[in-house]
Structure 1
Amino acid sequence: MVVPHSPESDLDLESQGLLKSVQLDRIDSSAERYTGARIQVRNLNLVAESGQKILDGVSFEVQKGQILGLIGPSGSGKSTVLRALNRLWEPEKGAVQLDGVDITTLDVVKLRRRVGMLFQTAALFDGTVADNVRYGPSLQGKKLSPDEVDALLQKASLEPGIASKQALELSGGQAQRVSLARTLANSPDCLLLDEPTSALDPAATRKVEETVLKLRIELGITVVLVSHSVEQIRRIADDVCLLVKGKIVERGTPAELLNPQHPLSQQFLAGTLESGDE
């Protein structure tokens, strides 16, 4: 499978010491099920009952296999945008398209299988790791074999031996990657990551970041990542949008973000921009 990203981006990753640590070997031929998807967001608007604009004309595009970072102060609308991409909320104005198709015309359950989402805290249920990974396919009448569960755990950078462990006894980093394996069981084309490492220590954060990079490289999955961390965005994103008070005030590569043109971008990077209400 050809993953649409430039050789230059590989060199940037390698210079940061991340690409070297990512194992690029394919796990099995089932990886071909993942095709990536192009996301187009056009003029999203949302106004609170108070009259405050939560989103104000948000537009952007994410190419297949690209990692887009959404960054900004608390209350800038980042998580709200993310929830619009798989219809956890629907905008008052504007549209979201997946490979050119308006997502409001798609079955919402099937859409959420194609566009998987991870939140800040892993929402595992009481049972084994394997039980959790099998959950999505079981709703479609399919029971994953032990080998299929192990392959999904490997995709999420976990050892197969963890399958029999109790999910609620895992560390935070392990639990977040089990959540990722459970999402991958639905063969998503896109992953939406809402501050997935905010509750993790630096080592666990690094492991999750490496796993996201591996999925992009091996499977071509499109990723939209919400983060408060400029450094995290620099490490793994191809492109970044800076949101302030519901508007995209700057877009470019992570390197370009370090030399922002917009005054609000400059304030954000200087740590002097006040947060709003998300």
Structure 2
Amino acid sequence: MREFAFDTAQEPFGQRHPDEPAPQLEARNLSFSAGGLQLLDKVDLKIQPGSRTLIVGPNGAGKSLLLRLLHGLLKPSAGEVRWQGNALDANGKRAQAMVFQRPVLLRRSVFANLKFALSVRGTRGTARQQKIERALASAGLGHLANRPARVLSGGEQQRLAVVRALACDPELLFLDEPTANLDPASTAAIEDLILEANGRGVTIVLVTHDQGQARRLGEELVFLQDGQVAEAGPARQVLDTPQSEPARAWHEGRIYLGPNTQPLRARQERAS
């Protein structure tokens, strides 16, 4: 991977002041390489309990990869992920949930998808039934309870994926572009579920490409470029007055190629 540096005047993201609580989730010098490529490079990140942190950046910046590392689905090449002050372990992972861009649903009914997820978590009997009913009602899926989950529309499938994750009462919810390619009504419904959960104290870490969504949902914002944090801070600040060139380009709708990347035309001219 090429060498580059980003010039930002900001303090390290998530730097804690003495009167602030300890981070719920923390990445320290987090790096990941594969096939000889450095895909994520020395990411430091602190997530406070009950916060909403949005991760943005161009395709290939490492956003989805970062979520998988934070959730413990992948092992970092270097650095570590800490949960409530300790190394992330099985108990920490159990306190989290993740919703992917493409819903991963069982070949069962809507009701059975919820029932299975809760059963795995050890919820049975009346408590399970009540959780399922509340989840279906919150997602507006009660009338579809007996329908096969995989024949639902894209928006309905994603709503099911979100409430299935939330039914397990996670302390932190990761969402990887949960509204990509969805219509405005479905997007609004999912954002409402996210905000409602956050209002109950669930910490939200969400990847998005949508500047409008970043404004609607973001409290803190992390901008990734080429596997590094180019800029981070309060969402409004980064969105309205970005300091780094990658974030400014994104804000202005320009294509950022990086200091060591030449446009295709220049590469073709040099090769001829």
TM-score (norm 1): 0.78
Deviations for 1:47-104, whole angstroms, at most 9, x for unmatched residues? 2323x3211111111111111000000011111110011211011111111111210x
SS in 2 for 1:196: coil
1:226 aligns with 2:211: no
1:49 corresponds to which residue?
35
- 1:222 CA drift (Å): 0.5
Aligned match of 1:152:
135
1:200 paired to 2:182: yes
User: CA shift at 1:159, angstroms?
Assistant: 4.4
The Cα of 1:198 is off from its aligned counterpart by: 0.5
239-248 vs 178-187, greater mean Cα deviation: 178-187
Larger radius of gyration: 2
Unaligned runs of 5+ in 1: 1-36
* SS across alignment from 1:164: coil
Q: Identity of counterpart residues, as a percentage? A: 31
Unaligned runs of at least 5 residues, structure 2: 1-22, 262-272
Which of 26, 44, 51 is 1:40 aligned to? 26
* Residue 268 (structure 1) aligned with residue 253 (structure 2): no
Which residue number corresponds to residue 191 of structure 2?
209
Question: Partners in 2 of 1:213 and 1:43 — Cα distance?
Answer: 30
Query: Does 2:148 correspond to 1:166?
Result: yes
TM-score between the two structures when normalised by the length of structure 2: 0.80
Greater mean deviation of Cα atoms: 162-171 or 93-102:
162-171
| 1:120 corresponds to | 101
Structure number with the bigger relative contact order (C-alpha 8 A, sep ≥ 6) is: 1
Given candidates 191, 195, 220, the residue that maps to 1:239 is 220
Give the count of matched residue pairs: 233
How many Å separate the matches in 1 of 2:233 and 2:191? 20
Partner of 2:118: 137
Q: Distance in 1 between matches of 2:67 and 2:184?
A: 24
Hey, what's the Cα distance between the residues in 2 that align with 1:263 and 1:142? 49
For 1:91-106, what aligned pairs fall within 5 Å after superposition? 91-103=76-88, 106=89
| Shift in CA distance, 49/158, structure 1 to aligned 2, threshold 3 Å | same
Please show how residues 19-30 of structure 1 align to structure 2 within 5 Å: none
Contact 1:135–1:182 (CA under 8 A) maintained in structure 2: no
Structure 2 counterpart of 1:88, from 62, 73, 78: 73
- What is the distance in 2 between the residues matched to 1:68 and 1:140? 26
What letter is aligned with 2:103? A
1:94-148 deviations in whole A, cap 9, x for unaligned? 1111111210xx22xx444311000111111222111000112223554354333
From 218, 223, 232, the equivalent of 1:251 is 232
Measure, in 2, the Cα distance between the counterparts of 1:245 and 1:61.
20
Structure 1 residue 149: Cα displacement: 0.8
Q: Residue 121 of structure 1 contacts residue 199 of structure 1 at CA under 8 Å; is this kept in 2? A: no
- Runs of 4+ aligned structure 1 residues displaced above 6 Å come to none
